[in-house]
Structure 1
Amino acid sequence: MKKTILAVAALSVLAGCQVTKSPTGRTQALMYSSADMNTLGAQSFEEIKAKEKVVTDARVNGYVACITDAITAHVPSSYGVKQWDVVVFDSPQANAFALPGGHIGVYTGLMKVAKTPDQLAAVIGHEIGHVLANHSNERLSRNQLTGMGMQIAGGAFDLAGVQNKELWMQGLGLGAQYGVALPFGRKQESESDKIGLDLMAKAGFKPEHSVTLWQAMGAAAGGQQPIEFLSTHPSNERRIKDLNKGMPKANATYQQAQASGLRPSCKV
């Protein structure tokens, strides 16, 4: 009897899944609607802004907005976001994140590692890639299927009153303090690298700088990273190898962008 009940429950959950394809053609099972994910993204972003110190320096904000605007101009219109909300947070962490619904956070610590506009574009493109590929929805859906017990009441999220809020935030790639970006799985990280490389090239940023960025990240970490098998992130070496594999296509896209006059001039 118990097995029957569990089987029925499992079938009910699976019936709510939407099987779709990511931008790179990977099959995904998603349980939540875009509207629900956008609501969660917006509520989470407001909470982060309330907890973190927001940078008010117009030059810094203008610099990050210049890079972000150039990239988001190439986000497919089918995503449904016309204006992306970009905030710079004063924090030593070398991090950035993007949330469903068009919300982007960049930490000042990242700008000390990503020292050129092209390098910062590689990070921002990568984070937007997570959003376009529905990675948050995918992770939350997987958590639901594996019994973490997160539920949507009334078809919409209420972050203020929902139970297991920490799990929702982690599903979005945000740590317990909402200021630390958590990694997605290796496949998702690699997928976002591909999407981000294409986005930055379309915007007119030099694709090769995605490689120099991860070299800089490795140097900043002092070489102290776990072996790839034990890490959800691809190793820097693996990541750089995969980026270089996609570089010929990205460079061709970059040349087309340059020829059409897309030459971002973003300065602090």
Structure 2
Amino acid sequence: MRILTSDPLRRVLLGALAALTLAGCSDNAMTGRRQLAFVSDEQLAQMADQPWAELRAQTPVLRDPAARARVVRVMEPIIQATGRTDLAWDVVVFDSPEVNAFVLPNGKVGVFRGLLELVGSDDELAAVLGHEAAHILARHPAERVSHQLATQAGVTLAQLVFGGENGENAEMVAGVLGLGATYGVLLPYSRSHELEADRLGVELMRKAGFEPQAAVRFWERMIARQARQGAPPEALSTHPGDERRLSELRKAVAA
């Protein structure tokens, strides 16, 4: 069906999208920049409850009390450094070889066995946990969700705006804009988030009493591991290139 969209209506739709975007912008004292955030911390915490429950149900927990005690010992001073003692923090170590960890907006902390096998010290573990906690302080989850919502709204608007003269091309326009948004906005923004979390994570390490230089040592180890396994080019990745990441991280440690 061809969508007929008048010029006045187009202006109204464009104005509405612009107003919504402006309304969603706010200052973040932690990052020192303005952010697009349509969702609140409370909403994010609720959104995180279901994936956390699903992960708990689908992934076995490591039956090693000493491993969990180690993660808790490292995580507790980081939690104090974040100032977010309002969250219902909980630490779970999953029995999986994946080298990864995460902190959800609801305060749930997941660490995989593979990471514990890779880190060379508690300070290196603190570097990873500090980085993940920094994502929450910087409100990166809210920003990512908001950018996804704005992108979807923009693609839908494009279908309406261009449907008047080229209704038969609306699907193509949506596809092109969707692809362009993914590789032109969302992935680069994710890379900037990673660098920002590296910097803020180093600050959290300092406040928590850990050695910031351990962050460099850990990422050097991770980069060497990734080099053996192969990694995607930076342009197609959500993470910054290795040399760029190490360079920025060394600056943060030296600051």
C-alpha distance in 1, partners of 2:51/2:101?
14
Amino acid at match of 2:72: A
Could you say which residue in structure 1 is the equivalent of 2:21? 14
Pairing of 1:1-268 with structure 2 (within 5 A): 1=6, 2-7=9-14, 9-11=16-18, 13-14=20-21, 16-21=23-28, 23-76=30-83, 79=84, 81=86, 83-147=88-152, 185-223=190-228, 224-249=230-255
Q: Quick one: distance in 1 between partners of 2:18 and 2:60?
A: 45
Q: Would the alpha carbon gap of residues 56 and 184 (structure 1) be closer, same or farther in structure 2, given more than 3 Å must change?
A: farther
Q: TM-score of the superposition, structure 1-length normalised? A: 0.73
DSSP 3-state at the match of 2:82: coil
- Cα distance between partner residues in 2 of 1:106 and 1:47: 15
Q: Could you say what secondary structure the match of 1:74 adopts?
A: helix
What percentage of aligned pairs have identical amino acids?
Answer: 37
Distance in 2 (CA, whole Å) between partners of 1:214 and 1:227 is: 17
CA contact (8 A) 1:22 1:28 kept: no
Distance (Å, rounded) in 1 between the aligned partners of 2:213 and 2:94: 27
Q: Is the 8 A contact 1:42 1:100 kept in 2?
A: no
Q: Distance in 2 between matches of 1:183 and 1:92?
A: 28
Identify, as 1 or 2, the structure richer in helix: 2
Separation of aligned partners in 2, 1:148 and 1:91: 37
Secondary structure in structure 2 of the residue aligned to 1:54:
coil
What is the CA–CA distance in structure 2 between the aligned matches of 1:14 and 1:86, rounded to whole Å? 35
Per the TM alignment, residue 130 of structure 1 is displaced from its structure 2 partner at its CA by: 0.7
TM-score by length of 2: 0.77
1:212-232 CA distance string (max 9 Å, x none): 101111122234223333322
1:81 Cα deviation (Å)?
2.3
Q: For 1:47, give the aligned amino acid.
A: E
**Which residue number in structure 2 is paired with residue 260 of structure 1?**
none
Instruction: Classify 1:191/1:22 alpha carbon distance in 2 versus 1 (closer, same or farther; 3 Å).
Output: farther
Provide, for residues 121-169 of structure 1, a one-character-per-residue CA deviation record: whole Å limited to 9, x for no partner.
Answer: 10000000111111111011011111169xxxxxxxxxxxxxxxxxxxx
Does the Cα contact within 8 Å between 1:113 and 1:220 map onto a contact in 2?
Answer: no
Which stretches of structure 1, 4 residues or more, deviate above 6 A after TM superposition? none
2:231 maps to amino acid: Q
Q: Distance in 2 between matches of 1:136 and 1:147?
A: 17
Instruction: Give the gaps of 5 or more residues in structure 2.
Output: 1-5, 155-186
RMSD: 2.2
Name the aligned partner's letter for residue 241 of structure 1: S
Q: What residue ranges of structure 1 are gaps of 5+ in the alignment?
A: 150-181, 250-268
CA distance in 2, matches of 1:104, 1:63: 13
Structure-2 change in CA distance of 1:227 and 1:10 (3 Å): same
Which residue in the other structure is 2:169 paired with?
A: none
Shift of the 239–15 alpha-carbon distance from structure 1 to 2, 3 Å rule, reads: closer
**Separation in 1, partners of 2:25, 2:253:** 33
- Alpha-carbon spacing, 1:183–1:131, altered in 2? closer, same or farther (3 Å): farther
Q: How far apart, in 1, do the equivalents of 2:50 and 2:153 lie? A: 21
Larger Rg: 2
Contact 1:20 1:29 in 2 (8 A): no
Tell me the distance in 2 between the aligned counterparts of 1:183 and 1:85: 31
